[in-house]
Structure 1
Amino acid sequence: MLTTNPERVRAMVACAQGIGVPRGSGMFRQALQAVAFLSEEKIAAKVDYLKNTFRWSDAQVSIAVRKYPILLEKSKESLKRRSEFLFSKVGVEPVYIAHRPVILSYSMEGRLRPRYYVIKFLKQNGLLDRDLSLYTAVKMTEKVFVEKLICPHRDAAPHLAEDYATACKGEMPYNFRFI
C-alpha cells in the first residue's frame, strides 16, 4: 500500500466505504484488500452474483460484505458449492448466512461437511443434548470440536472419531449416509 499511487489509495478507501465498511471498523483493512484489485463494475457484478446465489436482498448483501469483505474475492464456483450445500443439505435460510458470512470461508471438505455430518449423526442418535448450530461447530478449533463432540461419545459411538477423520479426507463414511 505504501508504494501505491496516492490517488489509487484514495479510490480504494472510497470504494471500501462504498461497500459499507466504515474507516474506523476492524474490517476496514480487509475491505481495502478485497477492493484493491477490483473495479467498480466487478464489485457490482459480484454483489449481483451474491444476491442471486444466496437469495439475498440488498440489505443482506450489505450486512454480509460489511462483516466479511473478503467475500468479494471468493470465486463464483466456491460460493455456488457452499450455497448449494448450506441450502439443500443443511437447510439454513439466506438470512442465517448473511449474518454469519464467515461460514463461507471454511473448507467444504475439511470442515463444513464433516462437522455437519457429526452434528447430524449425534442428533439422529440422541447423543446431542442441546441444539448446536453448524456455525458454532465450524467456529470451534479442531481440538475443541473433538473434545466437545467426538470424545464424549466414545462409548456410545466408538466409530465416530474414525468416521469424522474419514469425512475430513473428503470420503463419505457409511455411518454418515443418512436417509
Structure 2
Amino acid sequence: MFKHALQAVAYLSEDKITAKVELLKKTFTWTDAEVGIAVSKGPAVLSRTKESLQRRSEFLISELGLEPAYIAYRPALLTYSLEGRLRPRYYIVKFLKENGLLKCDPNYYTVFKESDMTFKKKFIHPHKEAVPHLEKDYDAACKGEVPTNFRFT
C-alpha cells in the first residue's frame, strides 16, 4: 500500500493534495475522517481527475443510491471504469432484478470488484436459457457499443 500511496502523491505538491482532499470532501460529502479512510485504503483516488470523481459520485450516490460512507470504506469503486465496468454490471443486475431472475439484492461492491469471468459465472451464465443474448450484450456494453437486444434504460 505504501508503494501505491507514494505513486499517488509523488508528483503532487502539498497544495494540490490539499485541493484534492477538499474536492473529495465536497464531491462525496465526506468528513475528514472518511477522506482519511478512503485515501489510506485506496491512495489512487488522489490521482483521479475532478471530472472522473464527479461522474462516479453522480453514478454511485445518485443513481445507485450508495451512501458516501460506504464508498469511503470501498475506494476501489472509484478506480473502476464507469462505462466499461460499473454501468454495464449495474444494468445487468437491475435487468435481472426487474425481470424476477435475481432473488436478492447483491452487494454492489462485490458485483463490481469480481473478475469479469466470476461476474459472468454468477450473474449471466445461470440465465442463459431465459436471456440467451445477455452475455453478448454485456460484452458489447463493456466495449461501449449499444447492445442489439438488451437495452440499458
2:150 aligned partner? 175
C-alpha displacement at 1:172, in angstroms? 4.4
- Relative contact order higher in (CA < 8 Å, ≥ 6 apart): 2
State the identity as a percent.
59
The yes-or-no answer on 1:29 pairing with 2:3 is yes
2:121 aligned partner? 147
Q: Which amino acid aligns with 1:148?
A: K
CA distance in 2: counterparts of 1:140 and 1:95, whole angstroms: 21
Deviations 1:108-161 (A, max 9, x none): 111000000011111111111232122101111111111111111011112211
- Give the TM-score, by structure 2 length: 0.92
The yes-or-no answer on 1:79 pairing with 2:70 is no
The structure whose Rg is larger is 1
**Cα pair 1:60 1:98 within 8 Å, conserved:** yes
Corresponding pairs, count = 152
C-alpha displacement at 1:42, in angstroms? 0.7
**Cα pair 1:121 1:176 within 8 Å, conserved:** no
Runs of 4+ aligned structure 1 residues displaced above 4 Å come to none
Deviations 1:21-60 (A, max 9, x none): xxxxxx2221111121111111110000000011111111
Q: For the aligned residues, what is the CA RMSD?
A: 1.4
2:27 aligned partner? 53
CA distance in 2: counterparts of 1:144 and 1:28, whole angstroms: 29
Q: Which amino acid aligns with 1:72?
A: L
Deviations 1:69-120 (A, max 9, x none): 1111111111111111112211111111101001111111110000000111
CA distance in 1: counterparts of 2:151 and 2:59, whole angstroms: 15
**Cα pair 1:115 1:134 within 8 Å, conserved:** no
1:98 aligned partner? 72
Aligned counterpart in structure 2 of residue 113 of structure 1, from 87, 92, 113: 87
1:164 aligned partner? 138
Q: Secondary structure at the match of 1:61?
A: helix
CA distance in 1: counterparts of 2:72 and 2:128, whole angstroms: 35
Residues 171, 161 of structure 1: CA spacing in aligned structure 2 closer, same or farther, 3 A cutoff? same
1:128 aligned partner? 102
2:112 aligned partner? 138
- Give the TM-score, by structure 1 length: 0.80
Structure 2 stretches lacking a partner, 5+ long: none
